[in-house]
């Protein structure tokens, strides 16, 4: 069925800065584009890119400088000038890797091996989270809404303090989660009575209505139900929203995804996959009770699954997906009108980044388009069977096996043929990598270019390099100088 467009409310684009933080000039261009595509808010997850001060200064990134106070204020001005609200996302319970990885904070982990989960029993935990929030709120003048995360609180209940607490009658892991989040929310309301507090909903999904009702959270926080799957279960999402509503949580949010949710290491997104997710969210919005106040949707663009995992797709290759998803929400489907809006704004003929081709001279370029084109070309090269499975080709397996390499006994004529082929592939890759690097460092810190290349290119180049080096060494033993 065709759905009505997304109901009134916010369409937030999620900026995940815990990986590949854009250079500020690029960031400002992106914000302008988000606005042109139909977004009216930003959900900004700073993590280690926020200029924390005092005892929290150690949280700042070291691979590249954190954004300065001036840059963060300017970013908000750019957003405001486009009619966009900025909502910071500061994790307060789970996904605390960026804090708990630091040695002085190790004692605040729920479990020694789990870098993500905060120990809720320590007063210092609450104190540090409140200090983080204070610094973030202070640098967002006029802030009305704050997202405090609280998703995927893995290993909660497994630490020694928690085991002791859980030994008391009536104490449960659900209760432990709810009491910490309630404590945080009350402390926030005490400092900023007007503040709207959003949390991720996943830790509450299995809780029954009565548990939620009795928790003290009702009226303090607004759950954001997230589901990024292309085949998401519409009925299940509707019943979850209904459950929160019946527990007294009238103000609710949704979260979809335009990138960063396919696999932990995906480098080029499939727009179709993310479109399916948004079409299902439209069905959810059309099926819920009239009393539910769906305040908006956050279109997430994860840059890492967590602080310590690898990079997901970079923003330039995901902009066609974001454009298509936003226009689908606005029109209720990816109609001809929606597609022409995407084509017109991005100067593309397809919403799939792998099919956008090269921009004609004078065509309207979306910010980062050149990099998107180069990354698609490089990825095609890296995925070509001849290169990716070079070690498995007949000549290598037949005349330059590990056995040959070990004994340094080879047929020079054939191995030199292999060497020529491998060298040619290496040169092709090297040339394309340098083009990608040259473009990437205009938009991202050098450390991002380095990380992306090591993650995606080095594993493919290494076997080719081993073969060329190995052949050179073996031929030396077999052919007179």
**Which SS3 state, helix, strand or coil, does residue 300 take?**
strand
CA-based nearest residue to 89, from 234, 293, 235, 301: 301
- Residue 390 is predicted with a pLDDT of 86
pLDDT in tens, 182-221: 999 999 999 999 999 999 999 999 999 999 999 899 999 9
25 Cβ contact partners less than 8 Å away, ≥ 6 residues apart: none
Q: Is 131 a catalytic residue?
A: no
Per-residue pLDDT, averaged over 376-397, amounts to 90
Half-sphere exposure of 346 (CA within 13 A, CB side): 33
Q: Determine contact, residues 347/365, Cβ cutoff 8 Å.
A: yes
pLDDT at 388 over 90: no
pLDDT at 302 over 80: yes
Q: Determine contact, residues 146/137, Cβ cutoff 8 Å.
A: yes
**Which SS3 state, helix, strand or coil, does residue 246 take?**
helix
Q: Determine contact, residues 248/256, Cβ cutoff 8 Å.
A: no
CA 111 remoteness from chain centre: 25
pLDDT at 362 over 60: no
pLDDT at 361 over 60: no
pLDDT at 181 over 80: yes
Q: Determine contact, residues 49/17, Cβ cutoff 8 Å.
A: yes
The whole-angstrom separation of Cα 11 and Cα 281 is 13
CA-based nearest residue to 259, from 209, 202, 326: 326
Which residue's structure tokens are 């056995």? 403
pLDDT at 407 over 90: no
The token pair that represents 34 in the structure block: 């988000």
CA-based nearest residue to 23, from 241, 316, 261: 316
The whole-angstrom separation of Cα 131 and Cα 268 is 38
Q: Could you tell me what percent of the chain has a pLDDT over 70?
A: 99
Exactly one of 131, 152, 242, 451 is catalytic; name it: 152
CATH superfamily of 10-358: Glycosidases (3.20.20.80)
Q: DSSP string spanning 6-74? A: PPSSEEEEEEE-SSSPPPHHHHHHHHHHHHHHT--EEEEE-GGGS---GGGGGGS-SSSPPPPHHHHHH
In this prediction the pTM is 0.95
At 346, which helix (H) or strand (E)?
Answer: helix 336-346
């Amino acid at each position: 069925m065709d759905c009505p467009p997304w109901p009134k409310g916010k369409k937030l684009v999620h900026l995940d800065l815990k990986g590949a933080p854009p250079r500020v000039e690029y960031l400002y261009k992106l914000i302008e584009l988000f606005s042109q595509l139909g977004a009216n808010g930003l959900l900004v997850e700073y993590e280690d890119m926020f200029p924390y001060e005092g005892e929290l200064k150690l949280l700042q990134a070291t691979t590249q400088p954190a954004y300065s106070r001036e840059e963060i204020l300017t970013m908000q001005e750019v957003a405001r000038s486009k009619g966009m609200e900025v909502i910071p996302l500061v994790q307060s319970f789970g996904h605390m890797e960026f804090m708990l990885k630091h040695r002085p904070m190790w004692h605040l982990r729920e479990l020694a091996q789990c870098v993500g989960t905060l120990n809720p029993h320590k007063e210092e935990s609450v104190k540090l989270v409140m200090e983080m929030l204070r610094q973030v709120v202070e640098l967002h003048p006029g802030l009305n809404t704050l997202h405090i995360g609280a998703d995927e609180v893995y290993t909660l209940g497994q630490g020694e303090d928690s085991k002791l607490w859980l030994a008391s009658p009536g104490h449960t892991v659900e209760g432990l989660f709810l009491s910490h989040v309630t404590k945080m929310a009350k402390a926030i309301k005490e400092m900023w009575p007007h503040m709207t507090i959003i949390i991720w909903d996943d830790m509450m999904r299995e809780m029954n209505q009565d548990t939620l009702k009795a928790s003290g959270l009702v009226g303090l926080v607004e759950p954001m139900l997230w589901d990024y799957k292309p085949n998401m279960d519409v009925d299940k999402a509707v019943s979850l929203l209904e459950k929160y509503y019946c527990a007294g949580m009238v103000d609710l949010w949704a979260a979809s995804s335009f990138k960063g949710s396919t696999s932990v290491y995906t480098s080029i997104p499939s727009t179709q996959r993310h479109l399916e997710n948004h079409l299902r969210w439209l069905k959810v919005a059309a099926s819920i009770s009239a009393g539910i106040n769906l305040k908006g949707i956050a279109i997430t663009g994860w840059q890492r699954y967590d602080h310590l995992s690898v990079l997901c797709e970079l923003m330039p290759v995901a902009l066609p997906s974001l454009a298509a998803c936003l226009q689908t929400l606005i029109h209720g489907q990816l109609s001809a009108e929606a597609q022409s809006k995407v084509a017109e704004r991005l100067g593309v003929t397809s919403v799939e980044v792998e099919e956008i081709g090269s921009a004609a001279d004078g065509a309207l370029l979306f910010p980062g388009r050149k990099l998107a084109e180069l990354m698609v070309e490089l990825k095609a090269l890296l995925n070509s069977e001849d290169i990716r499975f070079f070690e498995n080709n007949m000549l290598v397996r037949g005349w330059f096996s590990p056995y040959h390499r070990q004994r340094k006994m080879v047929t020079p004529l054939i191995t030199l043929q292999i060497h020529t082929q491998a060298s040619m592939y290496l040169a092709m890759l090297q040339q394309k990598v340098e083009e990608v690097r040259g473009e990437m460092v205009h938009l991202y810190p050098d450390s991002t270019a380095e990380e992306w290349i090591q993650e995606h290119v080095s594993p493919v180049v290494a076997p080719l390099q081993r073969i060329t080096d190995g052949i050179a060494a073996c031929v030396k033993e077999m052919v007179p100088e």
